[in-house]
Amino acid sequence: MTIDLFETPERLALAKVTADFTTREIVPSLSQWEDDELIPREVHQALGRVGLLGVGYDESVGGSGGDSIDATVLTEALIGAGASGGAYASLFSHGIAIPHIIDAAQARARVGEQADADRLIERFVRPALAGDKIAALAVTEPDGGSDVAHLRTRAVRDGDDWVINGAKTYITSGIRADVMVIAARTGDVGAVGISLFAVDTSAPGFIVTRKLRKMGWNCSDTAELAFVDLRVPNEALLTPEPGGGFASLARHFAFERLSLATLAYSTAARCLDLTTRWVQQRETFGRPLMSRQVVRHDLVEMYRKIDVARTYARSIVCKHTAGKTVLLEAVLAKNTAVAACDEVVDRAVQLHGGAGYMRDSEVERHYRDSRIIGIGGGATEVMTDLAAKLLNW
Ligand SMILES: Cc1cc2nc3c(=O)[nH]c(=O)nc-3n(C[C@H](O)[C@H](O)[C@H](O)COP(=O)(O)OP(=O)(O)OC[C@H]3O[C@@H](n4cnc5c(N)ncnc54)[C@H](O)[C@@H]3O)c2cc1C
């Protein structure tokens, strides 16, 4: 059943378009982008033109249609054809930002504020899905990322405006984003005091304080930000007060975590692919590595871990697409896929020997890139703790 849903003719076609785009437009330039620590904007626009940025978004907001299964198929195909985790993070950073803007537009339309709703879509969502604007989400702060409920950036009402002061860090696409969804405290301490704002990054007071250099995801720009008397109009406030910001973040965390699970098992699957090819042609002591039983057993273990992670994550994506609440399952899927990926990328580098330790070997990049998946979007320990809470333990 799950397999059928992932292999309908339309989804096989989506996978092919994605793989073709990746082979043609991403793979040949990836090493250069890694050195430049940036992906050219034209790549966002090219992805937008073929409709891939809009997969999973309704056509009424500028998307290409489809659902969470389609978005999963896209990620699998992108990584399977040789893109990197960093390219995925950078090109699809809108995926963690614009759902909050779409929610706000829908809420305004429901209460008859159609003009306001349309403005949000036209100004931020359509251009992001077309690749003309880059969108990002700023939640994490220098004082801590895991404890979202205690963030300190503050927004204070001043007449018809809000004035935001604070700092954010590790923000994907933060260097060149045009629109930033910012989490800021508008009320009391804890989760209830948090709101989300959609901010045009050209506004005075929005400052990129530092470009951050990283272990992996090098082609993805990452920023530290400061907001100094950043003044935004009231319509920038996306969420109902009080506490609407945390609720909106929590609502979208489930699919964000499933997307990271997909990234993890897809990275592992790509590494297994590369390793299987390598051990067939690499000879040691007069025989191909593949001829050694211990190597074949290693490959089978890699395959098993990936298949368990993929089968579980895909089944939860199906439940999510059917409208079921999957908070617990998304957490478990992420931790399962991260564990599989960590082990598989390590074995992939090992079986490549010195070649796997060389910069520009693909498994070396996946080894570095994948390390973040168990930290970002909820660290593994924090996910396990959340699972215990959701199980009432
Ligand atoms: C490359 C990259 C891209 C990112 N992109 C974004 C982005 O676009 N937007 C954004 O808002 N954020 C982003 N982040 C931030 C990311 O979400 C945070 O790094 C993550 O949530 C962890 O927060 P922290 O780094 O402050 O770690 P901390 O909260 O300081 O935790 C440190 C470590 O302590 C452990 N730990 C924490 N709490 C517990 C606990 N209760 N029990 C046991 N162990 C615990 C975990 O191992 C954790 O990794 C990004 C980070 C990176 C590195």
Q: Ligand 1: does its nearest atom lie under 6 Å from the Cβ of 217?
A: yes
Catalytic residues: 256
Alpha-carbon distance of 240 to 100, in angstroms, equals: 12
Q: Any residues with CB less than 8 A from the CB of 285 and at least 6 apart, and which?
A: none
pLDDT of residue 124: 98
Instruction: Dump pLDDT digits (tens) for 130-184.
Output: 999 999 999 999 998 999 999 999 999 999 999 999 999 999 999 999 999 999 9
CATH architecture of 135-241: Beta Barrel (2.40)
pLDDT-based confidence at residue 198 (cuts at 50, 70, 90):
very high
Q: How far is the CA of 112 from the centre of ligand 1 (A)?
A: 39
> 281-327: per-residue pLDDT in tens?
999 999 999 999 999 999 999 999 999 999 999 999 999 999 999 99
Q: What number is the average pLDDT over the span 333-362?
A: 97
For 233-273, the pLDDT digits (tens) are 999 999 998 779 999 999 999 999 999 999 999 999 999 99
CATH topology of domain 2-99: Butyryl-Coa Dehydrogenase, subunit A; domain 1 (1.10.540)
Contact predicate 362/274, CB 8 Å: yes
Regarding the beta carbon of 169 and ligand 1, being less than 6 Å apart is answered no
| Domain ranges (residues) in the chain | 2-99, 135-241, 246-390
Q: Is the pTM of this model over 0.85?
A: yes
Distances (CA, A) of 172 to 78, 202, 223, 233: 19, 17, 7, 25
* Residue whose entry in the numeric block shows the structure tokens 């506490």: 243
Kindly indicate the confidence band of residue 1, based on its pLDDT and cuts at 50, 70 and 90: low
For residue 138, the ligand 1 atom closest to its alpha carbon is 11
Residues in the chain: 393
* Beta strands at 135-138 and 179-185: parallel, antiparallel or unpaired: parallel
* Average pLDDT across the chain, whole number: 97
Q: Is residue 163 lining ligand 1, measured as CB closer than 6 Å?
A: no
Report the 10 Å Cβ neighbour count for 2: 15
What is the C-alpha separation between 11 and 13, in angstroms, rounded?
Answer: 5
Q: Which CATH class is domain 246-390?
A: mainly alpha
d(CA 8, CA 11): 5
